[in-house]
């Protein structure tokens, strides 16, 4: 196979095609058909289109961007400092979204207003009822005779629609109240803050909430719902649990981050700032899987057919909502079907493993394994100290040679480490991920090493 080697060591990452398909903020906020309808009608009015796209450089993730810089500089001088990518693109994007969000918020308020009007008509509580705090803030409706008559009703009862979140139009789930006094489901509010750190109803700044990631749980609301609407509450919880289960599936609709090349056992630091990926990472943590797929972008298909599952080891959140995710490669997979969810890519996948060999083949494989390991190791040790140190800082030391190279279904870790540090273009790296034969992978690495040493001499 023909490998394109760059003169410089690292190649620029291939930006994901999918990132061109910028998520429609309004649709992101529409898990519920009722809101979706509303959202789509708004979209046709042109309020949610033309979201500004991120400029190229701000899409790059830490190590990607450092690789690109290194390529430009003709050396690897920027391998360190993997964590610093942002800039005007981010700001510009934020502004655009802020505007969009405001429009959305206004519409949401209008919608909420309409709903409340509707609810008032159904409401069986008198306006003076002290038991219901949400009612107290509502102005007296003009035609209130119905409500006044209801005061004398023997058993006032809640209507589930009285306790709906104005964002998802469903019964509050894990309700939280902002410092400005508005109540939303926790997850609805978080999703809003991914786009704009303002209250979706009154536009009060909520940067504090975003920075601390602490939200005031509305205990009384939760108790009222559980006490007066037990059936609706049970149904709401069932929906939530169903959704969590769906999101935890690591075979169907697996979240896919379209960005860079990831390999089993190799660390992959990521800078997260796009709202859809903030949501994706949060969900990975909430569901407890802490895993998502990483694929290279593909200009035709959206993203590559092969990828690697990354496991989140640690997340560092910043006050403005961005985060740096420390992840490490796990299993390899093949994409069976591509999809989308709430603005990010998903895929149905099947995991791939190396095919084991036995007998004579095994003995031959052992010999090849030892030989290529020595070649890779001596190539690495022949590098300049400064370059070596940068690689060590970024990828850690070269893993030891395996006693049995077939023990892991992904083959020896040192192979993936070597592939990650070799000066290979992403496109040339991709076939290695798809290989199910360790022998082929070892021969491929050997050819790359031979090519490099020929070019050096």
- 63 or 104: whose CB is closer to Zn ion? 104
Query: CB–CB of 224/158 below 8 Å?
Result: yes
CB 167 → Zn ion: shortest distance, Å? 5
CA dihedral 398, 399, 402, 405 (to 10 degrees): -80
Strands 254-258 and 291-298, bridge-based pairing: parallel
Judged by CB under 5 A, which of 185, 262, 328, 376 binds Zn ion? 185
Judged by CB under 5 A, which of 39, 201, 268, 413 binds Zn ion? 201
Judged by CB under 5 A, which of 180, 319, 407, 450 binds Zn ion? 180
Binders of Zn ion among 337-366, rule CB under 5 A? none
Judged by CB under 5 A, which of 199, 229, 347, 391 binds Zn ion? 199
CA dihedral 303, 307, 311, 317 (to 10 degrees): -30
The rounded distance, in Å, linking the Cα atoms of 264 and 256 is 16
CB 239 → Zn ion: shortest distance, Å? 11
Binding mask of the shown chain, residues 99 to 118, with x at each position contacting Zn ion by CB under 5 A: --------------------
Q: Should residue 202 be labelled a site residue for Zn ion when binding is judged by CB under 5 A?
A: yes
Q: Should residue 167 be labelled a site residue for Zn ion when binding is judged by CB under 5 A?
A: yes
| Of 339, 259, 183, residue with least CA distance to 12 | 259
b/e sequence 275-294, b meaning 16+ C-beta within 10 Å: bbbbbbbbbbeebebbbbbb
Choices 159-167, 214-222, 261-269, 440-448 (CB under 5 A): range interacting with Zn ion: 159-167
Number of residues that bind Zn ion (CB under 5 A): 11
Three-class DSSP labels, 290-347 = CEEEEEEEECCCEEEEEEEEEEEEEEEECCCCCEEEEEEEEEEEEEEEEEEECCEEEE
CB 235 → Zn ion: shortest distance, Å? 14
CB 186 → Zn ion: shortest distance, Å? 8
Tokens of 51: 């979201």
Choices 33-41, 135-143, 186-194, 326-334 (CB under 5 A): range interacting with Zn ion: 186-194
Residue 176 CB-density burial (10 A; 0-12 exposed, 13-18 middle, 19+ buried): buried
Choices 57-65, 160-168, 229-237, 271-279 (CB under 5 A): range interacting with Zn ion: 160-168
- 185 or 272: whose CB is closer to Zn ion? 185
- 159 or 174: whose CB is closer to Zn ion? 174
Tokens of 126: 């008198």
What are the backbone dihedrals phi and psi of residue 325, each rounded to the nearest 5 degrees, phi first? -105, 125
Q: Should residue 14 be labelled a site residue for Zn ion when binding is judged by CB under 5 A?
A: no
What are the backbone dihedrals phi and psi of residue 302, each rounded to the nearest 5 degrees, phi first? 100, -60
Judged by CB under 5 A, which of 29, 30, 147, 188 binds Zn ion? 188
- 25 or 185: whose CB is closer to Zn ion? 185
Q: Should residue 193 be labelled a site residue for Zn ion when binding is judged by CB under 5 A?
A: no
Binders of Zn ion among 285-324, rule CB under 5 A? none
Q: Should residue 168 be labelled a site residue for Zn ion when binding is judged by CB under 5 A?
A: yes
345: which residues sit within 8 A by CB, 6+ positions away? 16, 18, 255, 256, 257, 258, 295, 302, 303, 338, 339
Q: Which residues form the interface with Zn ion (CB under 5 A)?
A: 165, 167-168, 180, 182, 185, 188, 199, 201-202, 204
């Amino acid at each position: 196979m023909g490998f394109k080697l760059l003169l410089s060591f690292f190649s620029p990452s291939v930006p994901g095609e999918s990132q061109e398909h910028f998520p429609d903020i309004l649709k992101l906020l529409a898990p519920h058909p009722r809101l979706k309808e509303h959202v789509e009608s708004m979209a046709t009015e042109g309020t949610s289109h033309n979201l500004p796209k991120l400029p190229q450089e701000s899409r790059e993730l830490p190590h990607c961007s450092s690789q690109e810089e290194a390529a430009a500089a003709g050396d690897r001088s920027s391998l360190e400092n993997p964590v610093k990518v942002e800039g005007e693109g981010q700001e510009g994007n934020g502004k655009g979204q802020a505007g969009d969000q405001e429009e959305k918020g206004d519409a949401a308020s209008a919608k909420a207003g309409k709903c409340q009007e509707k609810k008032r008509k159904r409401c069986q509580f008198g306006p003076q009822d002290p038991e219901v705090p949400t009612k107290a803030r509502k102005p007296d409706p003009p035609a209130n005779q119905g409500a006044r008559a209801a005061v004398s009703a023997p058993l006032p009862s809640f209507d589930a629609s009285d306790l709906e979140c104005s964002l998802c139009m469903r019964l509050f789930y894990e309700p939280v109240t902002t410092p400005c006094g508005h109540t939303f489901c926790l997850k609805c509010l978080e999703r809003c803050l991914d786009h704009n750190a303002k209250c979706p109803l009154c536009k009060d700044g909520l940067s504090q909430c975003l920075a601390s990631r602490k939200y005031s749980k509305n205990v009384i609301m939760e108790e009222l719902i559980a006490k007066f609407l037990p059936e609706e509450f049970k149904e709401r919880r069932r929906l939530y649990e169903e959704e969590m289960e769906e999101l935890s599936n690591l075979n169907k609709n697996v979240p896919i981050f379209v960005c860079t090349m990831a390999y089993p056992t190799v660390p992959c630091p990521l800078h997260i700032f796009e709202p859809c990926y903030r949501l994706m990472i949060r969900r990975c943590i909430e569901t407890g899987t802490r895993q998502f797929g990483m694929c290279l972008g593909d200009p035709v298909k959206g993203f590559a057919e092969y990828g690697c599952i990354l496991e989140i080891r640690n997340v560092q959140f910043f006050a403005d909502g961005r985060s740096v995710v420390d992840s490490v490669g796990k299993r390899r997979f093949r994409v069976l079907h591509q999809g989308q969810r709430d603005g990010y890519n998903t895929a149905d996948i099947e995991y791939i493993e190396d095919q084991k060999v036995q007998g004579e083949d095994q003995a031959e494989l052992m010999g090849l394994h030892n030989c290529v390991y020595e070649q890779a190791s001596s190539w690495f040790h022949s590098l300049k100290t400064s370059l070596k140190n940068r690689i060590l800082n970024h990828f850690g030391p070269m893993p030891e040679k395996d006693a049995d190279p077939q023990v892991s279904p992904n083959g020896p870790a040192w192979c993936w480490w070597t592939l990650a540090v070799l000066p290979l273009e992403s496109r040339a790296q991709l076939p290695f991920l798809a290989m199910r034969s360790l022998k082929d992978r070892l021969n491929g690495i050997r050819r790359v090493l031979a090519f490099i040493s020929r070019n050096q001499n």
